[in-house]
Amino acid sequence: MATQTMLKFVTVGREMPEKRAADERNTDFHEIYREFADAKAKEQASRCSQCGVPYCQSHCPLHNNIPDWLRLTAEGRLHEAYLRSQETSALPEICGRICPQDRLCEGNCVIEQSGHGTVTIGAIEKYINDTAWEQGWVEPIRPVAERPESVGIIGAGPAGLSAAERLRRQGFQVTIYDRHDRAGGLMIYGIPGFKLEKPVVERRTRWLEEAGVEFVLSADVGRSISFDAIRGKHDAVLIATGVYKTRDLDIDNAPERGVVAALDFLTASNRIDLGDEVPDFADGELNAEGKRVVVIGGGDTAMDCVRTAIRQGATSVKCLYRRDRANMPGSQREVQNAEEEGVEFVWLSTPAAFAGHVVGEAATASEALVDNAGGDVDGDGIGDNPKLSPRHVVTETDTSTGPVGVTGLRVTKMRLGAPDVTGRQSPEAIEGADYDEPADLVIKALGFEPEDIPRLWGVEGLEVTRWGTIRADYRTHRTSLPGVWAVGDIVRGASLVVWAIRDGREAADSIAAELGAETRVAAE
């Protein structure tokens, strides 16, 4: 009798790849999950019930053929599983690592709904594609025929890379411009190595280079090279620049030292991980070692900061968030990882003022307290605390010279009040419950907004939305400027890698159609 390969969810329990112990992983920036062993990947894939209507697939932004590659993996046909997997994504092993699967594919798996625990889709996607790299199955793209038209892509993040892959497969000449010295966008300088090791990103950009994609790095559009020059050089231009304007705390006169933006902190740490010299890390400003660290915010960027600080050797790491655990925007899986690693979450708390003292030899006992004027302090993009009225700076007379360094925060305790128009409970301050929290390093992880691209680049006619994101058609990704498309976070606002990949693919097909090509991609 033939043995049933699939539908084993009743007899085989859900298992994730082994997670390294917290005391081991806290000392390095390597990924925290080990790879599945071959037998384990097969076994876990065989739990899938091969749904006729696969909700996992419809909730994956790339509509990956998940049931197919799970079945092929369970049957030991890994090369075929790989071919299926890479059809719909330029960066499948990256999504397998960092997609919030609990909100996307896995969160909608029917066997999860029936109480058996979801198929571990992300870990299997990672396993299939890591194996493909190891086995040499990932070959450079070879277009069926070269085309003369060229496309200039501004931004080498996932949106730009994904568009480049799709365009190159169709034979277009592709040049990617990026202001950084490395390609990868937030995958290289934002997301820490313990979630996504840097060589995983670098091998993908090398692969595109080998396919003939030209990278022009350290090219800051609007500064070192003009948008018009790029537009004049290419038949089509794709803007994929992400969102980088940091939301700030609404507290005036923050101390000059020791209060830093999340992305500066994470970029420095990633650069160190990549072997660069970083003066602000070497002089301690962007280094948490030996410090009491407070991170403000409740999103995934805040989670990356707290876990980075732990690995740098902070003496304590606290995360301040003005709502409670159930209402935070960050992933619960990341909160759990952070707690295991020694992070303390201080829920229902918001900073009201900084305390600081003069740094250096001339330091005196002078202290400064700077009060909160209210604002979107946790970076979840949701209203400010109306009970905190604008106040003024409170300082003692300070006759010494030198920069002021942070020594702590005044923290206001909050409670969740009545629901707002969205149904979400608004936090409100509890009178008289303020307290002082000592800190040597405060990291502001408050979210990101788009830069004012039309002004910075001197472009007329490029329409933006009221949020400052570039206005583009949601399907074709065309902007208001002829021959210019836009994708990824600069259109969506801060989002996810997987959505950036999808946008990039769709825009590539729209550009190809405009330039007269049929969307027929080269086989590997």
Residue 104 interacting with ligand SF4 (CB under 6 A): yes
How many angstroms separate the CA atoms of 163 and 501, rounded?
8
Residue 158 interacting with ligand SF4 (CB under 6 A): no
Sequence-ordered strand ranges (E) for 363-493: 368-371, 393-395, 404-419, 425-429, 435-438, 441-444, 448-449, 484-486
Contact positions with ligand FAD (CB under 6 A) in 97-136: 98-99
β-bridge mates for residue 295, sequence order: 319, 443
Residue 172 interacting with ligand FAD (CB under 6 A): no
User: If contact means CB under 5 to 8 A according to the sort of partner, which of ligand SF4, ligand FAD, none does residue 130 touch?
Assistant: none
At closest approach, how far in Å is the CB of 501 from ligand FAD? Answer: 8
- Count CB neighbours of 523 within 10 A: 10
Rg (CA), the chain: 24
- Count CB neighbours of 323 within 10 A: 22
- Reference 318, options 441, 191, 195; nearest CA is 441
At closest approach, how far in Å is the CB of 445 from ligand FAD? Answer: 8
How many angstroms separate the CA atoms of 313 and 320, rounded?
19
Contact positions with ligand FAD (CB under 6 A) in 392-451: none
Residue 347 interacting with ligand SF4 (CB under 6 A): no
Residue 299 interacting with ligand FAD (CB under 6 A): no
Look at residue 81 and give its three-state secondary structure: helix
At closest approach, how far in Å is the CB of 227 from ligand FAD? Answer: 9
How many angstroms separate the CA atoms of 10 and 116, rounded?
7
How many angstroms separate the CA atoms of 313 and 292, rounded?
10
At closest approach, how far in Å is the CB of 520 from ligand FAD? Answer: 25
11-19, 85-93, 153-161, 322-330 -> range binding ligand FAD (CB under 6 A): 153-161
107-115, 250-258, 319-327, 474-482 -> range binding ligand SF4 (CB under 6 A): 107-115
Contact positions with ligand SF4 (CB under 6 A) in 19-78: 48-51, 54-56, 60, 62, 64, 66-67, 70
Q: From the list 498, 511, 512, 515, which residue makes contact with ligand FAD (rule: CB under 6 A)?
A: 498
How many angstroms separate the CA atoms of 271 and 279, rounded?
11
Residue 488 interacting with ligand FAD (CB under 6 A): yes
Judge whether 96 and 200 are in contact, CB under 8 Å. Answer: no
CA angle 519, 188, 34 (to 5 degrees): 95
- Count CB neighbours of 474 within 10 A: 9
Look at residue 319 and give its three-state secondary structure: strand
183-191, 340-348, 370-378, 467-475 -> range binding ligand FAD (CB under 6 A): 183-191
* C-beta of 176 vs 498, nearer to ligand SF4: 498
How many angstroms separate the CA atoms of 493 and 503, rounded?
13
Q: From the list 185, 255, 356, 408, which residue makes contact with ligand FAD (rule: CB under 6 A)?
A: 185
Helices assigned H by DSSP within 12-120: 22-25, 38-45, 55-58, 66-74, 78-86, 92-98, 110-113
Q: From the list 91, 121, 141, 154, which residue makes contact with ligand FAD (rule: CB under 6 A)?
A: 154
Judge whether 391 and 373 are in contact, CB under 8 Å. Answer: yes
User: If contact means CB under 5 to 8 A according to the sort of partner, which of ligand FAD, ligand SF4, none does residue 221 touch?
Assistant: ligand FAD
* C-beta of 128 vs 183, nearer to ligand SF4: 128
User: Residues in the site for ligand FAD, rule: CB under 6 A?
Assistant: 98-99, 154-160, 177-180, 185-187, 190-191, 195, 219-222, 240-242, 266, 300-301, 304, 488-489, 495-498, 500
Residues that bind ligand SF4 (CB under 6 A): 48-51, 54-56, 60, 62, 64, 66-67, 70, 95-96, 99, 101, 104-105, 109-111, 119, 121-122, 125, 498
